[in-house]
Amino acid sequence: MSSSRQAPNQQQQPAGKLFQFKLVLLGESAVGKSSLVLRFVKDQFDDYRESTIGAAFLTQTICLDDATTVKFEIWDTAGQERYKSLAPMYYRNANCAVVVYDITQSSSLDKAKSWVKELQRQADPNIVIALAGNKSDLSARRVVETESPAVPRGSEQDWIDAKPYADEAGLLFFETSAKTATNVNELFTSIDKTISSQEQQ
């Protein structure tokens, strides 16, 4: 990890470690990137959250275990395709990326895949990428399946599987809901753990 700085947290836990991770959120417009961050950082949810323009920056510190504290520096990016040219500024030197799609929009998964591709090509080669299928509270309107259900619903083309893709591309995978807080902390903790374990290797 070239850019993650490691500094002992001397005040409270002389033995503890403080990791700083730069995390970037990418994904199509209105899939809930900002909402995921808001849930993670402030444990809040806003139905009518303004769209992000350019990017927003937030930090959140979590304790992984007694010895390790992780500070996330989160760049929450604008989703509109047009803002894409700004993205490299944010994912440059990022340790991890959360690529978000909306389970009720199949196009958002395609967009997520293209982000993954771009990250794998352009970003730090060690970047940890997580795929998050957001809005799992709206499962009634789901079009993206986690895995193929035993009995397919509707026509075959209507749904796409995300999990097999994530496995294949080597991504962490979670279905989240920023609204109900489902899997949000799990998502970030698991990113932590993955990076920390990379670090130790």
| Positions that interact with other proteins (CB under 8 A) | 29-30, 38, 41-42, 48-59, 73, 78-80, 82-83, 85-86, 89
Nearest to 19 by CA among 76, 59, 77, 79: 59
Cβ(143)–Cβ(154) under 8 Å?
Answer: no
Strand pairing partners for 75?
Answer: 24, 57
Instruction: Identify which of residues 118 and 137 has a Cβ nearer to other proteins in the complex.
Output: 137
Instruction: Identify which of residues 53 and 150 has a Cβ nearer to other proteins in the complex.
Output: 53
**How many whole angstroms separate alpha carbon 140 and alpha carbon 142?**
6
- Find the shortest distance in angstroms from Cβ 122 to other proteins: 17
Instruction: Identify which of residues 85 and 155 has a Cβ nearer to other proteins in the complex.
Output: 85
Q: Spell out the residues 6+ positions from residue 108 whose beta carbon is closer than 8 angstroms to its own.
A: 27, 28, 31, 100, 101, 102, 144
- Find the shortest distance in angstroms from Cβ 15 to other proteins: 24
Two tokens at 105? 């929009």
Instruction: Identify which of residues 72 and 159 has a Cβ nearer to other proteins in the complex.
Output: 72
- Find the shortest distance in angstroms from Cβ 163 to other proteins: 26
- Find the shortest distance in angstroms from Cβ 44 to other proteins: 10
